[in-house]
């Protein structure tokens, strides 16, 4: 695609401070409680590709990297690194979870089909992606609201990352500028995946 994404992303970041948060189109439903499912994961979100409900409890016992994504941002190329992480560490128990959001600079304007097609056709994304929703402020979906409370950091832009351990506890939060293959993030993932 021919677009000046770096400049567009930077300009939109400034503009987004004046914008009102939009209500997300995805509505999370409480997932059935389970003794083996941490409270953080007791939610269900619709899958991006087909709108089928997906309980997050299916990821109990996994290490999670939860990321808010957007298709038209200077950080969008991070999809490539996220997919590489997911492919490399999935056998050891890492799952990357993507949550498209139009909260920052209106950089995720498309519908579910457009977003899913872009992610797969441009970056080969195979990790789980969920329906577009809000990730900040009063309109934040319940997972991002809980992650922000637990870490004290709400996403300030697209591609903010939260690392969640196997017990469902948020252990780290990374700003957008920290790339998926950054040595600090990779080391934290290795540590979270290490046998206890």
Q: Residue 56 falls within a domain, yes or no?
A: yes
Nearest Cα residue to 119 out of 47, 42, 36, 11: 47
Three-state secondary-structure class, residue 195: coil
Residues of the domain holding 173: 39-193
Any domain includes 110: yes
**DSSP for 66-127, written as a single string:** EEEE-SSSTTTTHHHHHHHHHHHHGGGTEEEEEEE--TTTT---S-HHHHHHHHHHHH---S
Q: What is the pLDDT along the chain (196 residues), one digit of tens a residue?
A: 444 444 444 434 433 333 333 333 444 544 445 568 999 999 999 999 999 999 999 999 999 999 999 999 999 999 999 999 999 999 999 999 999 999 999 999 999 999 999 999 999 999 999 999 999 999 999 999 999 999 999 999 999 999 999 999 999 999 999 999 999 999 999 999 998 7
Residue 7 covered by a domain: no
Residue 176 domain-assigned (yes or no): yes
Domain membership of residue 15 (yes or no) is no
- Is 73 one of the annotated active-site residues of the chain? yes
12 falls within a domain: no
Choice among 37, 57, 73, 119 that is catalytic: 73
Domain at 156, CATH number: 3.40.30.10
Q: Quick one: tokens of 3?
A: 């677009």
Q: What angle do CA 81, 192, 129 make, to 5 degrees?
A: 45
How many structural domains comprise the chain?
A: 1
Structure tokens at 133: 């929703």
Residue count of the chain? 196
What integer pLDDT is reported at residue 29 of this predicted model? Answer: 47
Q: Is residue 97 part of a domain?
A: yes
- What is the structure's pLDDT at 188? 98
Listing from the earlier edge strand, what are the strands of the sheet with 161-164?
Answer: 94-100, 63-69, 161-164, 170-174
The residue behind tokens 């939009």 is: 22
Burial 135-171 (b: 16+ CB within 10 A, else e): bbeebbbbbbbbbbeeeebbbebbbbbbbbbbebebe
pTM: 0.84
Asked, for residue 5, whether it belongs to a domain, the answer is no
């Amino acid at each position: 695609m021919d677009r000046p994404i770096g400049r567009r992303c930077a300009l939109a970041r400034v503009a987004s401070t004046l914008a009102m948060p939009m209500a997300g189109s995805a509505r999370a439903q409480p997932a059935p409680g389970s003794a083996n499912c941490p409270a953080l994961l007791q939610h269900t979100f619709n899958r991006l590709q087909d709108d089928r409900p997906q309980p997050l409890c299916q990821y109990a016992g996994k290490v999670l990297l939860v990321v808010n994504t957007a298709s038209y941002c200077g950080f969008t190329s991070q999809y490539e690194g996220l997919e590489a992480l997911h492919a490399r560490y999935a056998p050891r128990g890492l799952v990357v979870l993507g949550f498209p959001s139009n909260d920052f600079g209106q950089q995720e304007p498309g519908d579910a089909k457009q977003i899913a097609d872009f992610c797969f056709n441009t970056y080969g994304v195979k990790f789980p992606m969920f329906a577009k929703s809000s990730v900040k402020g009063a309109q934040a979906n319940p997972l991002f609201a809980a992650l922000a409370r637990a870490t004290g950091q709400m996403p300030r832009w697209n591609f903010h990352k939260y690392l969640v351990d196997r017990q469902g506890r948020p252990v780290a939060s990374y700003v957008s500028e920290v790339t998926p293959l950054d040595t600090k993030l990779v080391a934290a993932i290795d540590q979270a995946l290490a046998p206890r």
